[in-house]
A and B are shown apart, each in its own frame.
Chain A
Amino acid sequence: MKHIYLAGVFTLGILLAGCFSDDGISNRYVNLQITDALVFENDQVYSVGDTIYIDLNFNRYLDEAGFSNKLDIYESSGSDSFQYEISLEKFSELSNGFRAIVVSPEFLFAEKGTIDEFGRTLAQLNNDTSQYESRVGLILREAGRFNFDFRFLYIESSDYLEDKVQIYIEHNFSNSDGIFEFTVNE
């Protein structure tokens, strides 16, 4: 019976050894982090009719945890644009809090990069293929208290190619919590 017990322990050990191996789990997805790539010059008080701008610029070559050299995200993903979403919220007296609102396409435009049919913002690789750039303008058509919530901003490669990886970039701010509140007056 002792032999059976030892065989069982050995077999279980082999099984567990496999758990620690780099096995067939997909490694198609690459996660990176960038800091302070998004810039919103918040004047905090605006008037109806004003236009505010959000800039997102990041280098084609980014640091990757665990590696000494930078990663070429264009060559790795094959994607000449990276997409992200702008989350705009308006304060509601009724709910006593900020609630997400959808901006009509006529009040949103891109000076750099593009905005697709689903309202997603795309940072485009510039002409000298050195960095991805996006500059989005928002026309303030109504009064109220608003904020941009960029606490969970993820930027992802927008092209899916079978022989390329998908890249997800988590964006963080070094001196901000990612919430930019402002007021629009009549």
Chain B
Amino acid sequence: MIKPKSPRSSLVLLFLFLLGSSNCLHAQENEDPVVYKNQLSTNLMLPAFESFDLNYERTIANKWALGLAVAIYGDRISELSTGSSGDFRRYDTNYEFMPFVRLYFQGAQHKSHFLELFGSLSRVTASGRFVRNTNTAGFGVYEPGETDYTAGGLGIGYGYRFLLLNKKLVLEAQFGVRTNFNVDYYFLNGSIIRTGFKIGYRF
């Protein structure tokens, strides 16, 4: 009888499978002079958190690429953040733009480790913050309510990109963490919104 595996062990197996598959195709890659400069990808982990992202990346030099990611988040995305949201106050990131730059250590046209730096501009809904309303008598009153604001942030990531099917199919494993520089006590809050496995297409 086969015992069900934990999600973590499944992810490790998937990573090893991708690594093995990529090595099998290595010889073919060396013989293939095709160069693709554009890439679209999405994080397969985010739907588990009711979220979705789309990444566009453009190779600009031998080892460098620039890109822009757009993400739309659901309620569960807060589970990827270290920031505390108590019963009374809650912060929900609705959507986010992330321009990024990547350095591919083995070159942008090969499977490679990469380092990523990215900026972040996100729209956040804060619940439980005080807003000034006007009561029925015409006087101002501060009450808990919802306010939207824009937050800036920076992030860093590290990962490995596999190129399959004549370098058109992209599979990535990445760890990426972003902070908006808000702190709980003395600790900088972070969110691993650019962590997971990505699948993409190069053209």
Contacts and interface: CB of A to CB of B under 8 A. Distances in A.
Interface range on chain A (Cβ under 8 Å from partner): 20 to 34
Interface string B122-145: 001010011010110111111110
Contacts of B99: 7, 10-11, 14
B60 A3 contact: yes
Contacts of B153: 15, 18
A17 B121 CA distance: 8
Given A11-B99, A16-B152, A24 B139 contact: no
Contacts of A8: 101
B149 interface: yes
B50 to A, nearest CB: 22
Given A3-B60, A22-B147, A71 B141 contact: yes
Given A67-B132, A165-B130, A17 B139 contact: no
A14 B119 contact: yes
A72 B61 contact: no
Nearest to A61: B139
A164 B171 CA distance: 50
B3 to A, nearest CB: 44
Interface residues of B, number: 39
A14 B180 CA distance: 11
Q: Specify which of B117, B132, B143, B182 lies most central, judged by the most chain A CB atoms within 10 Å of its CB.
A: B132
Given A3-B66, A76-B141, A11 B182 contact: no
Contacts of B61: 3
A123 to B, nearest CB: 19
Nearest to B67: A7
7 contacts: A3-B66, A7-B101, A11-B118, A14-B99, A18-B121, A24-B126, A24-B129
B52 interface: no
Contacts of A61: 139
A19 interface: yes
B114 interface: no
